[in-house]
A and B are shown apart, each in its own frame.
Chain A
Amino acid sequence: MLWLMLRAIAGNHRALFGFTILLIYIIIAIFAPLISAYDPLSTDMDHAYLPPVGLGGTFEHPLGTDGLGRDLLSRLVHSARIDLIIAFLAATGAAIVGIPAGILAGYLGGKVNRVVQALTDAWLSFPHVVFAIVLIAALGVRWINLVIAITVIDWTRFARVIRGEVFGIREKEFVKVAETMGLSNLLIITSEVIPNVLPTILVVYTLELGIAISVEALMSFVGLGVEPAIVSWGNMIAEGMSYIRTCWWPVVFPVLAIMIIILALNALGDGLREIVDPRTSRVLR
């Protein structure tokens, strides 16, 4: 399965582009201390506001420094760590809650479906940003609380999409056959339903990673995201904004980092959608 997946990704331009960039980000995050020459938190007021290379800067600080003289490259690559950790934990949390809810609602129908439907409708009726602010205000400003908030809010995205998908699968003839053979609900779900929603799960999961990263930036920007003691893209933007009129690069680099990864994740999601659609691809089987 994994091997087939990789082979299919290699055969799809959008998926390959997105996957490669995600992989680069992950490698950078893992090896951040090796890549960056400085402690991302250590200040050096003698070297504040240094410009990046090409704008009069030196290779000592390739991307320049911020208002406290901290090396921007070091801050950027260390931020990748917390942002990717938040993204993967939050997307996984939302998936763990949302996938079973969606599958059970879609396959069992009836009461379970009505409960899940009522919950997702209630969630939809409440603006996500307001919901997130309320949750963080209640839980406190810590990165792990951001993970919890994203999980609590976004599980419905998985639940809704997968429920709809399973509604369709439930009517397929091979599920009817399994039913007439007397297979238990559990066996039908694991052997007939899940293999067929797996592609959709992958797509939603990929998109959710991008959503979690933008939520981190947004929430940290308003001071309700990652605690200021930890360097994250959102915190870099929030701090840089206070002196953006005198010096723009401390804000522009994290914004670019976020834009590129979200672009890549969307491309990967779209590519996966193409790969798993039997009409456009037969590679994944």
Chain B
Amino acid sequence: MALLELIDVKKYFYEAVGGLIGSTKVIRAVDGVDLTIDRGEILGLVGESGCGKTTLGRTIVRMYEPTSGKIIFEGKDISHLPPKKLGGLRKDLLIVFQDPSTSLNPRRKIKDVLTTPLLQYGMLYDKEKQARELLLEVGLSPEYAEKYPFELGGGEQQLIATARALALNPKFIVLDEITSSLDIPAQARLLNLLRKIHEERKTSYLYISHDISVVRCISKNIAVMYLGKIVEMAASDELVENPLHPYTKALISAIPLLDAEWKPIPLKGEIQRAIGELKGCVFKERCPFQKPICLEECPPLKEVSKNHWVRCHLYL
């Protein structure tokens, strides 16, 4: 059964453009996303920086109100419920941010950082003991309780930020590039923790990263995003072994594989900002297989084989 369902979710930002007349320009950060995440599912979300992953994650946890579309969590439409009105659902729908050095209060001890959310929900009975237990659970020394965030390394800080969310035992967590700023051993440590928690508690994750190789090793399914739209979605192995969308192919070919034949598919140009009116396929400017129709119509997301969806005129 679906835990979270997104129906045609859009999130536009409006930026004032100066000048005599003074108009606004539209940034289509998330532009019509349909997704379903089941209980206990880990969905990976990949795409280059600037494609709207963070915006989508923050819209899901209702840091942002969607411009249109529906967000349904546990059968309840939360699209326009202000975060303060989510009530009991609030603690089941959490997010961990990319940069732990800014998402932890620099002036509070780790034990306070970890246990303040518990206090809010009446789950705090022994601060010292619970802080120590949480530290042990994420594989850190209980002595860290008395330290301040900046005394820890980046990987340890991110473990703390993650532990703080896990303490509330949420049903769903958005993990936004949480390993991106870490070195490889720290990444592995955090991923192992997430796997362990997932096995024990069946917590669902939306795992956001620009690095498809990291996403692959934790997610059951992967969605690929480009300029606010999902362009391809499939089971992890299927997506990596049999990518269909030219953008996915380019992303995967950018990972050096053991395969001797490896040759990156060149991507033309840079990712753009989704500003103003859009006509045709989101990927048209950079696509090596561009056809005339690609400039005219945006293709729909189509299921080309079981559970493998792609948004490309090549497969229509």
User: What's the interface size class on B, roughly?
Assistant: 20 to 34
Asked whether any CB of chain B lies closer than 8 Å to the CB of A179, the reply is: yes
Q: A-facing mask of B142-168, CB < 8 A → 1, else 0?
A: 000000101000000000010011001
Among candidates B62, B91, B106, B108, residue contacting A181 with C-beta atoms closer than 8 Å: B91
Please name all residues of chain B whose beta carbon is closer than 8 Å to the beta carbon of A178 when the two chains form the complex: 116-117
**Cβ–Cβ contact B120 & A182, under 8 A:** yes
CB distance from B106 to the nearest CB of A (A): 7
A173 touching B61 in the complex, CB below 8 Å, given contacts A181-B90, A182-B86, A182-B120? no
Interface residues of B in 94-119 (CB under 8 A from A): 94-95, 97, 99, 102-108, 112, 116-117, 119
A-B contacts counted at CB < 8 A amount to 69
Given contacts A173-B103, A180-B94, 20 further A-B contacts (CB under 8 A): A173-B97, A176-B63, A177-B97, A177-B103, A178-B117, A181-B164, A182-B90, A182-B91, A182-B120, A183-B116, A183-B117, A183-B120, A184-B120, A187-B119, A191-B116, A195-B105, A198-B107, A278-B106, A282-B150, A285-B107
Please name all residues of chain A whose beta carbon is closer than 8 Å to the beta carbon of B83 when the two chains form the complex: 179-180, 182
A195 touching B108 in the complex, CB below 8 Å, given contacts A182-B120, A183-B120, A285-B150? yes
Asked whether any CB of chain B lies closer than 8 Å to the CB of A174, the reply is: yes
Interface residues of B (CB under 8 A from A): 61-63, 83-84, 86, 90-91, 94-95, 97, 99, 102-108, 112, 116-117, 119-121, 148, 150, 161, 164-165, 168
Bound CA–CA A282/B150 (angstroms)? 10
**Cβ–Cβ contact A191 & B108, under 8 A:** yes
Bound CA–CA A173/B105 (angstroms)? 9
**Cβ–Cβ contact B94 & A196, under 8 A:** no
Asked whether any CB of chain B lies closer than 8 Å to the CB of A172, the reply is: yes
Please name all residues of chain A whose beta carbon is closer than 8 Å to the beta carbon of B168 when the two chains form the complex: 181
Please name all residues of chain A whose beta carbon is closer than 8 Å to the beta carbon of B103 when the two chains form the complex: 173-174, 176-177
Please name all residues of chain B whose beta carbon is closer than 8 Å to the beta carbon of A278 when the two chains form the complex: 106
Asked whether any CB of chain B lies closer than 8 Å to the CB of A239, the reply is: no
Counting chain A CB atoms within 10 Å of each CB, the highest count among B63, B102, B119, B120 belongs to: B120
CB distance from B180 to the nearest CB of A (A): 15
User: What's the interface size class on A, roughly?
Assistant: 20 to 34
A181 touching B94 in the complex, CB below 8 Å, given contacts A172-B102, A173-B102, A187-B120? yes
A196 touching B107 in the complex, CB below 8 Å, given contacts A180-B94, A182-B86? yes
Bound CA–CA A195/B109 (angstroms)? 11
**Cβ–Cβ contact B61 & A180, under 8 A:** yes
Q: B-facing mask of A161-198, CB < 8 A → 1, else 0?
A: 00000000000111011111111100100011001101
Bound CA–CA A178/B148 (angstroms)? 17
Bound CA–CA A182/B61 (angstroms)? 11
Bound CA–CA A21/B102 (angstroms)? 38
**Cβ–Cβ contact B116 & A174, under 8 A:** no
| Minimum-distance CB pairs A-B, first 10 | A182-B90, A195-B107, A173-B102, A174-B105, A173-B103, A181-B117, A183-B120, A191-B116, A285-B148, A177-B103
A181 touching B120 in the complex, CB below 8 Å, given contacts A195-B107, A196-B107? yes
Please name all residues of chain B whose beta carbon is closer than 8 Å to the beta carbon of A187 when the two chains form the complex: 116, 119-120
Question: Considering only CB atoms, which chain A residue lies closest to B91 in the complex?
Answer: A182
